[in-house]
Structure 1
């Protein structure tokens, strides 16, 4: 297997590659939410002037390709390749429509002819061919022609999303292009399709999936020195996790982290762990200006509170506790406990509390 780490734009710039999505692959399914995460990663890479790893592309080389071309069947990575094709199409249209001419921006012709199309010496060809249900739509989008009668919903939606982002008053096309230039991928080329499939299965399905707690811990500790990682882990994380022992699968710890993120970070939405983690990561990377140790300090304090209130019916009680040390006040932190003065309300509240299981 030939494995290379390269810039994603360099991958697309190869003039002789033909990328094909096999019929057995699922249809394009990214939504605007995933596209927004990619957009933020790109703009963050430009702002921080650092590379951003955007994934692995696994391909098999097909033997029946014309001389001068390399036909590649994409085993894994079609979602991001399709999304990049849509983003490149959108930026080419934007540069064209706005009449932008800057040495830091490519021309629309260069994007269309150099990145979206290849040339085998005889005639230009579209570099990315999708599976049957999506290909007519992507072909029309790249060519700028009328969409088919039943277009792919996700392709149309995501192209519209990127176009809308570029129509914002604060959009900086140069920053977007600089960020695109900092995206990297690991490209895996394999002649044997069976081996390529085994690599795909190993990368995507073997082993235990990461929990929300795993992802948050790794993100907060990864950039520290080994000595500092050990200190922060022992002082904060081990205690935060330990208050829930026994906790197989980190179920209680994951619940505490989810509650903390959804209360602390206003844009968070309760959903699967990927949604919650995305909100957390976005806040730490783009808005938080303090030390990560203070985040661990707050999380540790919240875990002690959550351990006492391991039921969602008690949420208002722990919301009013002064556990927060970072950023804005929590949703109900401005409220103070006081004695109930309405006898009817007090009686109703007491009846509700009597129904709570004592073990909680």
Structure 2
């Protein structure tokens, strides 16, 4: 019994969600992962006979910024406070829950399913049945739509299609998400990292809503559900059992791992060296194709302001930096040309669809020489 009393007393030192204060959550049975999260946050063993221990891979532990107090003044050593009030738009509040929600939506639009707004009209059952057969990412996009409608009550005022919200309307999140994103710190020792904890608490609540939306879409795909109702997802109960404690000037945030599907998992990305190698390989492949086209065209006219007209084949590029530009200031406006550096060091401007090229010491002089050559040849019909 003493161990149980000490364990319950240790919970009073944890920062937790304000949703824990509601008695309905205390009457729920804790999952093994939630017991382990509380024990890991408190740093003490679980009393015997309460719950079996799951594997520690079921937890997510995040260490907060190192913060030191001197004369009642807080100095953060790792992360400086950002004034989000000035950067946020007038539609959104600067509360951590709003910032996390906007960041997750932006990450999804840019990295998970880019350009999805070009074909998704609305996250409804009819649209889902129509688009699932044509777009491989339709399930993810519809999940995001249900998630957004469950989290943001008035999202239809600015999305599907994207548009500016009506004047005088401000962004809001559901009461349940805001409740779970609110922090109840036990003492002033959490005042320095209160915002940092609030960010993680908001992410926990939003990921739980995403898990419910993903489950609804998967059941719909399997034929177990007849409709996709965001109202049902918004009313699903969220579990607030995470904990945060400050020890040795380090804040530890511990929560059970939330299974949210492939959208928020580890994204497989190639290394920067591999991406640079791919870019260089594509540029050299493009260089070989361009040079082969020039050689097939045979000799052409070459103009230089110093030497005048000569007949020569295309100059060999010194590297793969061959740029395509549009020549302005001509009667046939819109003529395209290549600009590159040849092996001798001079700059060459060569027409894309003709056998006329000009050389100069700089890009400016080479382009001027090409423009002068075309003015002298304007009585000839293309191709030059």
Where on the TM-score scale, by shorter chain, does this alignment land: which range? under 0.3
Of structures 1 and 2, the larger Rg is shown by 2
Q: TM-score, normalised by structure 2?
A: 0.26
Q: TM-score, normalised by structure 1?
A: 0.27
Q: Greater share of helix residues, 1 or 2? A: 1
